[in-house]
Amino acid sequence: MEQLLQHLVNAIILGSTYALLGIGLTFIFGIMRVVNFAHGELYTFGAYMVYLFSVILGVNFLLAIAIAIVLGVLLGAAIEYTLLRKLRGADVDTTMLVMIGAWIIMQNGEQLIWSGVAKSIPTPFPEEPLSLGLVSVAWSRVFVFVVAIALIILAQTIIQRTRLGKAMRATFQDRDTAALMGININVIYLATFALGSGLASAAGALLGPIFIVMPTMGNLAVLKAFAIVILGGLGNMKGAAIGGFVLALVEEFGAGYVSSGYRDAMGFLLIILVLMVKPTGLFARSERIG
Amino acid sequence: MTTTMQWLFVAALAGLPLVMHDQYFFHVLIMMGIFTIGAMSLNLLLGYTGQLSLGHVAFFGIGAYTSALVSLGFDIQITETYTFVLAPKPAWFSLICSVTLAGLCGWFIGKLSFRVRGAYFVIVTISFAEVVRLVALNWVDLTEGPMALNNIPPLATALPGFDSGPLQRKIVNYYIVLGVAVFSFLVIKRIIQSRLGRAMVALRENEALAKSVGIDVTRYLVLAAIASAAIAGAAGGLYAHYVRIVDPDVFLFIYTVTMVIMVVSGGKGTLAGPVVGGVIFGLLPEFLRGHTVPEVQWMIYGALMILIVYFLPQGIVPAVNKWWTAYRSKRDQVVATNVSLGRNPQEQEG
C-alpha cells in the first residue's frame, strides 16, 4: 500500500512535466500541422540553460529557470522564422524532414558545446523530504510539480482568455478564414511555435536538476512527447495534459510492478495499443483546441 | 538512367578490385552498400507508397540480430522444463532466416500500422523501432543486451578458397554486398513495374480514388511493407556478418535518418534515387572525417537535409532527369513520342 501510494505520487509529479511537454507539442501540431522533431532539443536546451546560468554563472536558481524558459521561447521563435516560415503550406512530411534536420543540428551542437559528459544541477531545496503520512517527496520534486501546474494553467489562460489565444483558436479551426478576418497568420504561427517551445524548454529546465543533463536527453523526451500527444489525440490540449499523466502512471507502475528495464517501452506499447483501438486518441471527441 | 547505364555502373563497381588494393577503401564501399540496400528498401515505402516510415531501422536491426543469433546458436527457456535450443547454423542460412523474419515482422507491423496515416503512421513506426530496441537491450539472456553479440561468423568464409588475407576477405565481402544490392535493385524494379507497383503509386497519388477503382489499399501497403522489410532485413544480416558484432545501437533512430536522407536527397519514388543518395551520403562522412569532428559532420548532415528539402524537394535524380529530358527534347522530339505512348519519362527512366 505504501509502495502503491509512493508510485502514485511519483507518477503525478512526473506526469506534470510530461503534460508540459505534450501540450507544447500538440499545440504546435494542432495549429501549424508541424510534427516538431526538435521539441526534445528545446527540452535539452532548457536544461542546459539552467546549468549555464545557475551552475556556471551563479545566477539564482529560480531566476535561471525563468531565463531558460524565456530563452526557449526566443529560440522557438527563431526556428519558426528561419526554417518554417518559408514552408507555409508544405505537406506534413516536408516540414517533418526539416525539423529532423534541425534536431540533428541542435543535438550535435549541444554535444559540441557541452561534451557528452552528463552534468548535474544542484537545487537550493532542503535535502530532508516532505513527509505526507505514508509517502515522502523531495522538495525539489514538489517545486517541479507546482511550477509545471502553474505553467499549464498559464498556457491554458493565454489560449482561452487573451486576444492572441482567440486568434490562435480561430487559426486552428480554419486558417484561410482566419486570415480573411484580418488575423496575421505569420504572427500566430510565430507565437504558437514560440509558446510550444517555451513549454518544452520549461519541462527541461524543471527536470534537468532532478535527473542529469546530457545532450541526448531530448531523444527519449521527444518520443515520449509523441506518445503523450497520440494518447490525447493530435492537437487536443486537454488530451495532452491527461495523456501526460496517463503515460507517467503507466511508466511508474510498469517499472514498479512489471520490469524496470522496460520502463521506457511502456509508453510506446501504449501508443501502439491506443492507435489500434482508437486511432484518434483517447480523448478526442471532435477536433478543436483548448 | 537507362538500363545500359545501370549495368555499366554495376560493371564499374565490379571491376574496382582490379584497380584498388586498399582495405579501408573497400570497408567504406561495403558500409555504403549495406546502407544503400537499406535506403532502396525504404524507398519502396517512402517513395512509392508515400508512407513515411521512420521505424525502418527496426527491420534492419531485426535482420542483424536474427542473422547473428542463428549463426551463433541460442537457447530460450520457454517453460521451467523445456528449453528451445538452436545449434549454430551456417552464415548463408542465417542470412535467409534474417530476410524471412524481417519480412514477417514487416507483415505484422504493416497490418498494425497501416490502419493509420500521416503523422500517426510516422509515430507508430518510430514507437515500434523503440520497442524493439528496448527488447534487444533488456532481453539479456538472448541478445546479451549492451554487452553485444560478438564473434559472429563472417559470410566470407562460406566461400571456399578465398579466405587468405584481410584484403581478400574485404573483397569477397564487397562482392557479396554488391551481389545482394544488385539483386535487391532488380527485385524492387520488378515490383515497381508490376501490378503491385502500379497499385502502390496509384494509392500514393490519391488513396480515395485508388480505393474507388477497386485497389485493396491495405493489402498492397502490407505487401510493400513485407518486401521493404525483407530487403532491409537482408541489409541487416549483411551488416551482422560483416561487422561481426551486433549491439542494441543498430536500432538507433539516427540510422533511420541516414536512410531517409539517402532516399530524399537522391529522389524518392525513383529507382536510382536511393543509389545516388546512398553513394553521396555513404562517401560524405569519409570526406568529412579528416576535416571535422563527428558532431560537425552530423550537423552538416542535418543542414544538407534542410537544404535539400528547400532547394531540391524532388531529389537529385528527378532534377537531373528533368534537365536531361529538356536537353533532349531540344535536340529531337523524344519526349513527345514518350507522351504519346503514355509513358512518363520521370517514372520510367528513374
Per-residue pLDDT of B98-116, as tens digits, reads 999 999 999 998 888 888 7
Q: What's the pLDDT at A239?
A: 86
Q: What's the pLDDT at B346?
A: 53
Number of Cβ atoms within 10 Å of the Cβ of B231: 32
Give me the torsion for CA of A147, A152, A156, A161, rounded to 10°.
0
Instruction: Give the chain A residue whose CA is nearest to the CA of B264.
Output: A97
* Collapsed DSSP state (helix, strand, coil) of residue A259: coil
Q: What's the pLDDT at A97?
A: 87
Query: Are B122 and A259 a contacting pair at CB < 8 A?
Result: no
DSSP class of B215? -
Question: ipTM more than 0.85?
Answer: no
Percent of chain B topping pLDDT 70: 91
pLDDT grade for B255, boundaries at 50, 70 and 90: confident
Residues of B whose CB is below 8 A from A93: 52
Could you give the C-alpha distances from B268 to B39, B131, B175, B286, in angstroms and in order? 10, 27, 26, 24
Which pairs count as long-range contacts for B173-177, CB under 8 Å and 24+ apart, including other chains? Answer: B173/B26, B173/B30, B173/B242, B174/B16, B174/B17, B174/B26, B174/B29, B174/B30, B174/B33, B175/B14, B175/B17, B176/B238, B177/B29, B177/B30, B177/B33, B177/B34, B177/B37, B177/B238, B177/B242
Residue B133 has pLDDT above 60, yes or no: yes
Residue B350 has pLDDT above 70, yes or no: no
Mean pLDDT of chain B: 84
Instruction: Give the chain A residue whose CA is nearest to the CA of B305.
Output: A101
Query: Are B120 and A275 a contacting pair at CB < 8 A?
Result: yes
Instruction: Give the chain B residue whose CA is nearest to the CA of A110.
Output: B295
Q: Is B93 on the interface with A (CB under 8 A)?
A: no
Partner residue facing A272 (CB), from B127, B306, B310: B127
Query: Are B306 and A226 a contacting pair at CB < 8 A?
Result: no
The contacts of residue A286 (CB under 8 Å, 6+ apart) are none
Q: Is B120 on the interface with A (CB under 8 A)?
A: yes
Q: What's the pLDDT at B340?
A: 60
Range B230-244 average pLDDT = 92
Instruction: Give the chain B residue whose CA is nearest to the CA of A105.
Output: B299
Residue B334 has pLDDT above 60, yes or no: no
**Contact predicate A240/A225, CB 8 Å:** no
Number of Cβ atoms within 10 Å of the Cβ of B11: 9
Residues of B whose CB is below 8 A from A261: 134, 137-138
Query: Are B309 and A35 a contacting pair at CB < 8 A?
Result: no
Instruction: Supply the pTM of this predicted model.
Output: 0.84
pLDDT grade for B183, boundaries at 50, 70 and 90: very high
Partner residue facing A219 (CB), from B112, B118, B253: B253
* Collapsed DSSP state (helix, strand, coil) of residue B50: coil
Q: What's the pLDDT at B348?
A: 47
Q: Is B206 on the interface with A (CB under 8 A)?
A: no
pLDDT lower than 70: segments of chain A:
280-290
Q: Which residue ranges make up each domain of chain B?
A: 20-256
Residue B206 has pLDDT above 70, yes or no: yes
B194 Ramachandran zone, left/alpha/beta (phi>0; psi -120 to 50): beta
Identity of the residue numbered B49: T
